[in-house]
Structure 1
Amino acid sequence: MHKFERHFAVLIVIMLMFLANTMNAAFGSTLLKEMEKTQDFSAEKNSMLPPTQSSSDIYSYSGQVGNEKLRNRSQNPLLSFPSSSKETCLDRVDKLDDFICKDDDSAELVIGINDAEPGAYTNLINEISKSQGEIVNTVSIKDKVIAVVADLPLDAVSPFTEKVQGSGLARYVEPNMRFQTQWVPNDEYWSLQWGPQKIEADYAWNTTVGNSSILVAVIDTGIDYTHPDLENNYVPLGYDWVNDDNDPIDDFGHGTHCAGIIAAALNNTEGIAGLAQVRIMAEKALDEYGSGREDDLANAIIDAVDKGAKILS
């Protein structure tokens, strides 16, 4: 191609580009005006910024939008921020049924004794008596009472709580909550779980099958220590806090089920294979319905530790 022809081709390209830009600008302007006439579009309505603000104000405007969202949220009861006032455990109880109630007119409270306050225990007992309440249980560590469980009339709960906490006699006041085990089906092969294989316990057993020097406390509905898969790894160190005796036999089944997962005899041609060949003890804090009280659970934990349990389940 000659030099003149190359220059002419470049000139044609430049002219075409100029013409295209001109047509685009004209068409775009017309289209924009037509769109702005419609109800669905206007530059002002669809702008990210208010009409009086420039794009340089975008950060300050974003802050205003954020503040407006916060204001809306604080005015919306479903999205309200928590109150700054101090909330007690009793305030967080949603249903009165969560209390341990002797009847329809009273509820049990767990009251932590403030040892830093001189005469706290005696004065606390007096306040319970003044409120027409009675001591129904205690929680102790190494024979030292650290909390009392009191049954009080419902109308006395709030004033009593305010008084003993306000005076410093109590470290805390909590409802003596009731706990419930998860339901366990009674299917014949339920115990043949896929869990041990899923976590590859059989590979771990190539390293160790556990050690009988380790004591695990099963805090539950007790243990059927007569079961042939459990009797060799069971030690009679626990307690029955539900019936207040030294025989934590299982009358519900949940505790035995859990004990089997932990320490059923391994490689004995019957039953299931426990994950670790450790010793197990039973702290029975849940009854024949799988239900239990907070104070019994607390005492079970303390007793298990005092008797040498290294793991609590």
Structure 2
Amino acid sequence: MTIKKALFVGNTYLDITLDTIAIPLGDNKLRDQKYAVNLGGNATVAGCTVSRLGSKVEIVTPMANDDLNVLIQELYKKEDITLHAIQASKTSLSVIIPNGIQRAIILCGDKDVDNKTPTIDLSKFKIIHFDGHMPEITLELAKQAKQFGILTSLDGGTVRTGTQELLKYIDIAVVSEQFCDDLELSHKDTLEYLAKQGCKVSAITRGIRGVIGLEDGEFFKIPAMSEIKVKDSTGAGDIFHGAYVSNYLKNESESFKSHFEYANIVAGLAVQRLGTVSSIPSLEEIEKQETIN
């Protein structure tokens, strides 16, 4: 049996999540605070989700020759993800302080990244998911994917340089409310705009208000999971992306609305835990929640 693989393209962070009530100022300390150290980055967390849910994953991502990179490579190895490294000047680090559905994030490590597209045999992949970083590499790989007839997916967190050109090569566009604001369009108009760009399926993730989308000319709405206590929403959107990619790999004939419904359950479980990758639920937990829903 042919193993179905997914390729992810995007940035990698080392995420340090602090479960703390405050950040000390001046000459002060807080003791006995909980924390989590995870792989981070939009495509990275999505890829880890797919790997943990049972499919083969490879990723194109920047890698620096520094001390933090040693830990990052070990974490990728633990997640059973094959790396296609793009040379970078330094490793990106993020410090996250969650507060329910909100979180404060400190991003460190602006870096120079080589824009040369790596040579990859794309024919072994069923779907390629982009987070919009590394625009030159992303666009080139999206064009190549189209030539191979491979499904392409985009995490549209914001409108970036080259987004409009990239959309011509995207089949599944799942964007944020910020993306709509960047376009200065309503949610409905954004979905229709994405369809006009050639996206077969478009959707908008709206946090506690669920997901709205457009597939085969029909609008749909998926409510968020109810009666849950949000511990940390960091990475929930990325886990959502990974979960629908995972469900597509296992059930290609189903609609993307059904893939999004599955992803909605996975993300709803994830927000009840601390951290990004560490919050991804197991297959057993997902199946149990599906029976409840």
Q: TM-score range by the shorter chain?
A: under 0.3
TM-score where L is the length of structure 2:
0.22
From the CA coordinates, give the structure whose radius of gyration is larger.
Answer: 1
